[in-house]
Amino acid sequence: MQLVGEGDKAVWRIAWTPEAILPRLTAGRLVRMTRLATSRGRILARDGTELATFVEAGVVGVVTGQIRSESGMLASLAPALGLKPEDIKAKYTQSWVKPDLFVPIAVVSADKLDALRQRLALIEGVQVQATRVRSYPTGLASQTLGYLAEASDDEAKLKSARGVQAGDLVGKKDTGLEATLDDELGGSYGFRLGIVEADERAVETLAETAPVAGRDVVLSLDPKLQRAAETALGDRKGAIVAE
């Protein structure tokens, strides 16, 4: 660390540079914390039938620091996604949002994304990330299984030990096994601290915690018996007990 004298050298100051902290943190480079995705476990019936699984999709989001014309971005993105401009703005103005963070706006199916990709590429500040969305292929036991929803700020705080952030999909509170078994199914996000170039190219990894995948859960539910019961009940309220 270099000392520089001022005036008659009665005062000495440190000639500080970023490299004094990290040798490869040269001018123009940044320290970046990146979250590493986890994968949610499946819910399976007793015979291995998938009751809750995933299909390929895309997440359309914005990076606020890359938006030069907010009104222009909203005018283009809202009709593309079929959303109201105010609903989009509400997502990227949440308290946790920072200029360099990707903020999820909507999840779209793979087919819809193929049709929208070129249109989205022309909108400044908009990015698309690959993802998988929860699917319930049999349509059985919906009340038992529950469903996923975006975590609120309060829910994210309660699940922060797993790396959950507002906007992540978690088991919707009080809706079934997706919520009751959220910690087991959801796993934990990982994190990577590193040095990157201004264009986000990786330079050096300083520290990393690997993500932990959620585990599959196997139920005692018999799909054939469940379907027969639901068909028998139809729209009527009731319960069936099997012996």
CATH at residue 160: 3.90.1310.10
Same domain, 42 and 161: yes
Q: What are the two backbone dihedrals, phi and then psi, of residue 53, each rounded to the nearest 5 degrees? A: -150, -155
Length of the chain: 243
In a domain, 193, yes or no: yes
The token pair that represents 58 in the structure block: 């895309």
- Please, where are the H alpha helices in the chain? 70-81, 85-92, 110-121, 142-145, 153-158, 177-180, 182-186, 223-233
pLDDT surpasses 70 at 4: no
Same domain, 96 and 144: no
User: How many distinct structural domains can be found in the chain?
Assistant: 2
Residue that is last in its domain, among 114, 136, 158:
136
For 242, residues 6+ apart whose C-beta sits below 8 A from its C-beta are 225, 229
In a domain, 241, yes or no: no
Same domain, 117 and 151: no
- What is the spatial distance between Cα 114 and Cα 112, in angstroms, rounded to a whole number? 5
- What is the spatial distance between Cα 216 and Cα 185, in angstroms, rounded to a whole number? 7
Residue that is last in its domain, among 136, 170, 200:
136
Same domain, 147 and 38: yes
Q: What are the two backbone dihedrals, phi and then psi, of residue 109, each rounded to the nearest 5 degrees? A: -65, 160
Q: Are strands 50-63 and 43-44 parallel, antiparallel or unpaired?
A: antiparallel
pLDDT surpasses 80 at 169: yes
In a domain, 2, yes or no: no
In a domain, 160, yes or no: yes
In a domain, 41, yes or no: yes
pLDDT surpasses 80 at 241: no
Q: Which of 109-113, 178-182, 195-199, 226-230 has the highest mean pLDDT?
A: 178-182
Same domain, 211 and 183: yes
**How far from chain centre, in Å, is Cα 140?**
26
Same domain, 231 and 142: yes
**How much is the pLDDT for 233?**
84
User: What value does the mean pLDDT of the chain take?
Assistant: 90
- Host H or E run for residue 6: strand 3-6
Same domain, 61 and 168: no
For the stretch 46-91, pLDDT in tens is: 999 999 998 889 999 999 999 999 999 999 999 999 999 999 999 9
Exposed / middle / buried, residue 83 (Cβ in 10 Å: 0-12, 13-18, 19+): middle
The mean pLDDT value for 148-167 works out to 92
Residue 31 belongs to domain spanning: 21-49+138-235
In a domain, 14, yes or no: no
pLDDT surpasses 70 at 9: no
CB 110 within 8 A of CB 56: yes
The region of weakest confidence among 124-128, 169-173, 215-219 is 169-173
Same domain, 104 and 171: no
pLDDT surpasses 80 at 18: no
In a domain, 8, yes or no: no
Same domain, 142 and 231: yes
Same domain, 45 and 59: no
Same domain, 214 and 128: no
pLDDT surpasses 80 at 199: yes
Same domain, 43 and 153: yes
Residue that is last in its domain, among 136, 163, 193:
136
φ/ψ region of 223 (left if φ > 0, alpha if ψ in -120 to 50, else beta) reads alpha
